[in-house]
Structure 1
Amino acid sequence: MKFGTHVLAASVIALGLAGCAAPGGPNETGGTIVGGVLGGALGSQVGGGSGRTVATVIGALIGANIGANVGRSMDGNDRARTAQVFEAAPTGQPTQWVNPDTRNQFEVTPTRTYESAGAPCREYTMKAVIGGRPDDVYGTACRQPDGSWKIMN
């Protein structure tokens, strides 16, 4: 299988997992999708032949689980702070905070800014410590017509 086929397979797996995660809310679903696709893409770089396919599936499952955990752990304050980072933080500058209620820690760094369909978009990394366990999430968010930010992948 070629790299593109592995990414497609990972996307299908992640979307399927996102359907299972929907009761947890949009943050968990978005985290599941982003984590699954990235995990599958990373897994597709391991081994060859059927071993590569297995690595892609395992990577997608692990990535989806990590992304869902981060998305599930974010409350309204964390979502608002993340949107503030997307709106105002310079590319490459990390913004950190600790949620006073949950004690979860977040660090969001915009890594690239570009325009898509006339709207600003930001690729980003998020390092989170949820319940003492570190997780990393990578994604893209774009500003919507109403001014909110939406995770795109």
Structure 2
Amino acid sequence: MTILSKISIAAIMGAAVLVGGCATGPTQEQTGAVIGGALGGVIGSQVGAGRGRTAAIIAGTLAGAAVGGSVGRTMDEVDRMNVSRALETSPDNRPVAWRNPNTGHSFQATPTRTYQASGQDCREYTVIGNIDGSRETITGVACRDAQGRWINQ
């Protein structure tokens, strides 16, 4: 079994535990942590060989879970739709701002670089959020999938 298969199975099992253990389902933070951890592990599996690769997978999984948890904690579906709108309609370096009516949090998404990778349109972006009086900055890269949706990389 490849390391990628093991990571995928671990991510699916983690998600099943989160969903199965809660009558109300996983929180956004839990979902973000599982997805972020899985993606971080996959990215880490592409680095190095032998023990170096194992360390990269562990580091990538932990970092991905932390970042995914942070994003899941602060942004809901309204916010993700607004980030997608900014990626879709805003030129590079032109911010799109909004205030989430459900949470009261305000955000500003700015696409910073547009490019092609493996035949896909991709955009680097920065999101600045004001959450309960505290400023948080999130950076990322999103690429279009086959259905035209922006998917975080």
TM-score (norm 2): 0.59
Are 2:130 and 1:126 equivalent residues in the alignment? no
Within 5 Å, which residues of 2 pair with 1:34-53? Answer: none
Separation (CA, whole Å) in 2 of partners of 1:98 and 1:32: 25
Separation (CA, whole Å) in 2 of partners of 1:109 and 1:127: 9
Within 5 Å, which residues of 2 pair with 1:23-34? Answer: 23-25=26-28, 28-29=32-33
Structure 1 residue 135: deviation in Å? Answer: 0.7
Structure 1 unaligned blocks of 5 or more: 1-15, 37-56
Cα 1:78/1:123, change in 2 over 3 Å: same
Give the structure with higher Rg (CA). 2
Corresponding residue pairs, total: 120
Query: Which position in structure 1 is the counterpart of 2:89?
Result: 88
Superposed CA deviations along residues 93-117 of structure 1, whole A, max 9, x for unmatched, are: 1111110110011111111100112
Query: Which position in structure 1 is the counterpart of 2:71?
Result: 70
4+ residue runs of structure 1 moved beyond 4 angstroms?
A: 19-23, 30-33, 60-67
Structure 1 residue 63: deviation in Å? Answer: 9.0
Report if the CA contact (8 A) 1:128-1:136 is conserved: yes
Q: What amino acid is aligned across from residue 132 of structure 1 in structure 2?
A: G
Separation (CA, whole Å) in 1 of partners of 2:35 and 2:94: 22
Query: Which position in structure 1 is the counterpart of 2:5?
Result: none
Identity of aligned residues (%): 38
Secondary structure of the corresponding residue to residue 78 of structure 1: helix
Within 5 Å, which residues of 2 pair with 1:93-112? Answer: 93-112=94-113
Report if the CA contact (8 A) 1:28-1:67 is conserved: yes
Separation (CA, whole Å) in 1 of partners of 2:96 and 2:151: 18
Report if the CA contact (8 A) 1:30-1:151 is conserved: no
Report if the CA contact (8 A) 1:97-1:105 is conserved: yes
Separation (CA, whole Å) in 1 of partners of 2:63 and 2:101: 28
Cα 1:63/1:73, change in 2 over 3 Å: same
Separation (CA, whole Å) in 2 of partners of 1:27 and 1:147: 23
Structure 1 residue 69: deviation in Å? Answer: 2.6
Within 5 Å, which residues of 2 pair with 1:13-32? Answer: 23-25=26-28, 28-29=32-33
Separation (CA, whole Å) in 1 of partners of 2:99 and 2:133: 12
When structure 1 is superposed on structure 2, of 89-98 and 21-30 the one drifting more is 21-30
Higher relative contact order (CA 8 A, sep 6+): 1
Cα 1:80/1:98, change in 2 over 3 Å: same
When structure 1 is superposed on structure 2, of 81-90 and 127-136 the one drifting more is 127-136
